Chains A and B, each alone.
Chain A
Amino acid sequence: MADTAIWNFRQLAHHELDGFGGIGEGMSIQIAKDGRRVLWLAHESAPKNFTAVDVSDPRSPRIVARADLPQSHMRSNSLETVGDLMAVAYQTKEHGQQPAGFELFDISVPEKPRSICFFDCSGAHSRGVHQLWFADGEYIHMSSGAPDFTPTHPKDDQFYRVFDIKNPSKPVEVGRWWLPGTRQGDSEPPPKRHPEGADTGFRPHNTNVYPERPDRAYLGYIDGGLIILDISDKGHPKMISRWDYHPPYHGFTHTVVPFFDRNLLIVSDECVRIEGGDWPKLVWIVDGRTETNPVPIATCPLPPLDAFQRRGGRYGAHNLYENLPKPNTWKSETIVLATFFNGGLRAYDTSNPYQPQEVGYFVPAAPERSPTGAIQINDVFVDERQVVYTVDRHVGGLYTLEMDF
């Protein structure tokens, strides 16, 4: 079993979250009224919903709250906080199961999250919400199914939805968009499926919207590639461009992070097969100067294939640090932080966008009781103190780090 490999990061602490260390893709900082810095984490799967960790001292994180899911067929996976308001995504394993949707919480007392409302997105063809983006306190952008949405293929069951939550007790859907051809009744033909075993659906994963361009949504559209939407009229989103690089690549475009000052788009795939079965899953540098024609210009160096492919579990790209447009978050348009499952957390300097250079990595040793025999680093978040938080997908919990490059 490999030891921890660390270069240009400094580990501050590791917290296994008391036996429930499987964390999904929701990581968000709240500064509580009493000044505590609370990191809210969405669990990757049942039985836990979310866990709140006091990270005021990143060398000594402490659990302050934890919630269970009502059903074992649910997962929360994604959450975001704005001030004392938290939105949590709920997705079910199968279509038609409940509860599926999203829930808003008042977290003004972190120890006692109080439900404000639950919005039902379940339906005969829906699994609910996989991911949500909540940054401005007014709108939630998400990848969700709906009771009135019948896809042309069961795997295309989620689409882009926007909710106005200015009244948090009564969310109102104000817009939606799906790739033409993926809903029954569309005049366009359904998209050509990816090959058997690599067909992961034409549906959004991350749905990022930034204050620099509030009229744009940057979607990682899984098997549909990168999609930029014009959402200046949220009721009628329009596709501006789509970069579809699969085939020959294996699909599952996950996250799109714009570097606005540099006219770059950083795009990650998600590895979804073990032992390099869908290699190479990459982090791409895309030239975004011409919005209607995104052009890939480089990829970030992957963790070495020979060393990681058979180390256990998944090997390849997944989440990026997304420059979350909120207070108490770090911003960089030069450094890319990306997670690679068993390849750990990696940092890249994109000063020269044509030749991104790896400047650091953190690959923890396999956590105890790891089902894969290797770490599976799943997501990363950085606060304005430049403290890095990264999590294991299955059992390892939370690692806090300092950047040292």
Chain B
Amino acid sequence: MLAASTRLRWTSETGPFGRRQRRPRGPRLPVIAVTGFLGSGKTTLIRALLEKPEGANTAVIVNEYGEIGIDNALLRSSSDVTVLLGNGCLCCNIRTDLQETLRELFADRARGAVPSFERIVIETSGLADPGPVLQTFATDRGLGREFYLQALVAVIDALGGEGNLARMPEARKQLALADRIVVSKSDLAEPAASERLVERIAALSTAPVTVAVNGEISPSFLLDEPLSMPTRLDRGDADVEHTHGLCSFSLFFEQPLCWASFEQVMAVLTALRGPDLLRVKGLIAVQECQGPVVVQFVQHIAHPPVELEDWPGTDRQSRLVFITRDLPREPVAQLFASVAQIAGPATPR
């Protein structure tokens, strides 16, 4: 070393997409965004998390102080963007702007102005469309480098949830885009109502569902880092009902994909139907890579791909989950198949 070569090299730890990571988020700060209609129980859920040991070292960003019901006596300051709670958690007022708040929070943490934290929970406003939140983490290079949206959690209450789903397109979209779904207030509703709601959810989403008991769920349901990807075993259930124009389907590939082909397919889809690609996420075997590559798209925006050190389980098949508006499985599968015929063997089954 140090004599003959004239270039600074990547190492064997680094692939085409940078350092191989143990998990999709790499070292980035995990963000858990909680959506749900006003009164659905988001605040109760977050407060219960903060009171558990697993919830320590969490910074919380809320829309309004009143909504999370913080005892003012716990606030060190009530005027700053960032305030410190007595339990060591942070609470930020999101009156300004989510990106600005997150940037300030990260900078304050880096310069020691706020206590160390290792995750962020965002409580979105009741009517919020989760799309812009998803895009915030996909598009903003500053945020995408430091933060990773680990889970979009939808809270729906057993009392009014079914009605909201029937009447409100925002409610359906929150569920369709969610990585995890919490049914709240089941103790206040008739058991049959909770069961009907869970069935209704299953028609809209393949995301894991849990029912909160007295406002509480296992912290791991919110905090764990599963890939939330269907496996082959799930194939039969992967395509859900296409109601109100929302579609959800999965594609699986037997052979490793050629990255150039994959890029081209996604370029066509985003160019022609970008606004309708509500969310695409996948774990794919790429010909040039050792580990699987995590890909994510939100409408026309692509997250930077992340190569993992290894597959999370024994199933090493490439898989892609699409959540779309009025774009069903078949033409997408055909597009992959057509490009594969031209470029190489990577036909979806």
A interface, CB within 8 angstroms of B: 2-3, 5-8, 212-213, 216, 228, 258-265, 287-291, 301, 303-304, 306-308, 332-334, 349, 351, 353, 357-361, 363, 404-405
Contact = CB atoms under 8 A, between A and B. Distances in A.
5 contacts: A2-B115, A6-B116, A262-B11, A263-B7, A306-B113
A363 B116 contact: yes
A361 B113 CA distance: 16
A358 B26 CA distance: 12
B9 A263 contact: yes
Contacts of A304: 110-113
B263 interface: no
Interface string B1-23: 11101111111111000110010
- In order of increasing CB-CB distance, the 7 nearest A-B pairs are A307-B112, A5-B116, A359-B27, A405-B27, A304-B112, A291-B2, A260-B1
A203 to B, nearest CB: 24
A275 to B, nearest CB: 15
A359 B27 CA distance: 5
B12 A261 contact: yes
Contacts, number: 89
B160 interface: no
Interface residues of B, number: 27
A258 B26 CA distance: 25
B254 interface: no
Contact residues of B: prevailing secondary structure? loop
B8 A353 contact: yes
Nearest to A360: B27
A246 B73 CA distance: 51
Contact of A287 (B8, B22, B27, B88): B8
Nearest to A265: B2
Given A349-B19, A349-B27, A258 B8 contact: no
A304 B112 CA distance: 6
Interface in B300-322: none
A216 B2 CA distance: 10
Chain A: interface secondary structure?
mixed
Contacts of A351: 10, 14, 18-19
Contact of A334 (B7, B14, B113, B118): B14
Given A5-B116, A8-B27, A304-B112, A262 B88 contact: no
B255 interface: no
B294 to A, nearest CB: 16
Given A5-B115, A6-B118, A359-B27, A261 B8 contact: no
Given A3-B115, A5-B115, A360-B27, 17 more contacts: A3-B88, A6-B116, A7-B118, A8-B27, A258-B2, A259-B11, A261-B11, A291-B2, A303-B112, A306-B111, A306-B113, A308-B112, A334-B19, A349-B19, A351-B14, A351-B19, A358-B110
Contacts of A405: 22, 26-27
B113 A291 contact: no
Interface in B1-55: 1-3, 5-14, 18-19, 22, 26-27
A264 B5 CA distance: 11
Contacts of A359: 26-27
Interface string B254-298: 000000000000000000000000000000000000000000000
